[in-house]
Amino acid sequence: MITHQKQILQQVDHNPDLFKKELVKSLRWLQDYEQTQFKKWVCEKYYHQYPVIINQVLDEYAPMQGDDY
């Protein structure tokens, strides 16, 4: 499932609204153990492009203690 969600984000990364929408959906669908790996990948790949969106979504939909975005 993580691979599929990564592919989706890569397909919509040109559009901030779609990126946010798909990021939210991804975090809702993924299991807890998958979310940690997925969040790390999102931050490494897209934080320079969408820092506000990533912080907002991760804080709202997948808060985890000790996470540094």
Q: How far apart are CA 5 and CA 7, in angstroms?
A: 5
Round the average pLDDT of the chain to a whole number and report it. Answer: 90
Of residues 48 and 69, which shows the higher confidence score?
48
Distance of CA 46 to the CA centre of its chain: 9
Structure tokens at 54: 């990533």
Distance between terminal CA atoms of the chain?
22
Q: What is the percent of the chain where pLDDT is above 90?
A: 81
DSSP designation for 48: T
Q: How far apart are CA 38 and CA 42, in angstroms?
A: 6
Give the mean pLDDT of 18-38. 94
